[in-house]
Amino acid sequence: MLAAIVFAIVSALSNACGAVLQRLAVVDRTSATARPAWRTAIDLVRQPAWLLGALFLVGAFAFQALALYFGPLSVVQPVLVLELIVTLGLRVFLLHDDIAFRTWSAALMICLGLAAFLVVASPGEGTEVPDAGQWIRAVSTRGLAVLVLLLLSRYGTPARRAALFGAATAVVWSVDAAFVKQTVDVLAHGGVPGLLTHWPFYAMIVTGVLGTVLLQGAYAVGPLAASQATLLIVDPLASIALGVELFREQLSTGPWYVLGAVGSLAVLTAGVAALSIWAPPVMTAEELARLPVQTAGRPV
């Protein structure tokens, strides 16, 4: 279990580094001169910062897969929420942002809620390998939930639409995490030939692409704070439910344990929501100029 937590933390760190580096590269390219989108995309691929960010994101996926191999969904997915705090730290040390006390308070709430959940719920590895019927039921119910959320996201304020889009994305990511867990298990026992001849690998690719598309839609329809908060709140909750349903992952079930787990998740949820709202604004060209390292007269 310790290995799962460590790899999950490293995955959160890698994902935060990749996101910040790629955002810096985007700001650098788009703030320089107005140019067609296709030209900007080509320039980004040539940017060392963007490429390094992409490498970090690949590493984040690999570390998440390792974490899911060593531990249950109900441990790994909640720990990945720490990405928010890592991103905040990068904003301080890389861009010298002035972070308000209330923002650090929200980060502390996340840490306390996560630690309390892992201690009180004491998640354990699953005792079952799901069969085809269990997968069909799980994917069908989650697919229906995603469809309902997307239909509801067509109406309302931009914040409401972004929140519903984010929730739909989170449900898809939770299913993708379940496929990742099944895929790494197949890889460990059957090697690459076994991986290529079993359907979870291809299902993982499909849900990964779908989640990425939905994430871009969430960013497009409304404010980032709304979509990010619901994404990072719903993902661990949906993953815990999937872990129990599909893999029979074990949680402490006594009345006081359940009450403590619900309370700790409530603290975690409140911290994520607050941090999403109080976090520093999106990186701009002015912030890019604060970078301490300069190359050829341009920040990197």
In angstroms, rounded to a whole number, what is the distance separating the alpha carbons of residues 16 and 85? 9
Contact 121, 74 (CB under 8 A): yes
Segment among 41-55, 103-117, 206-220 with least mean pLDDT: 41-55
In angstroms, rounded to a whole number, what is the distance separating the alpha carbons of residues 77 and 70? 13
Contact 49, 24 (CB under 8 A): yes
Q: What is the mean pLDDT of residues 272-300?
A: 57
- What is the pLDDT at residue 157? 86
Say what percent of the chain tops pLDDT 70. Answer: 84
Per-residue pLDDT tens over the stretch 139-156: 999 999 999 999 998 888
Reduced DSSP (H G I as helix, E B as strand, rest coil) percent helix, strand, coil of the chain, to 5: 80, 0, 15
With the CA atoms of 199, 204, 209 and 210 taken in that order, what torsion angle do they form, in degrees rounded to the nearest 10?
90
25 or 256, greater pLDDT? 256
* Residue of 104, 86, 151, 155 lying closest to 275 (CA atoms): 104
Q: What is the mean pLDDT of residues 233-251?
A: 89
pLDDT over 90 at 99, yes or no:
no
Domain boundaries, the chain: 1-99+280-300, 126-248
- Residue 271 neighbours by CB distance under 10 Å: 25
Please say whether the dihedral angle defined by the alpha carbons of residues 209, 214, 218 and 221, taken in this order, is positive or negative.
Answer: positive
Per-residue pLDDT tens over the stretch 168-177: 999 999 999 9
pLDDT over 70 at 133, yes or no:
yes
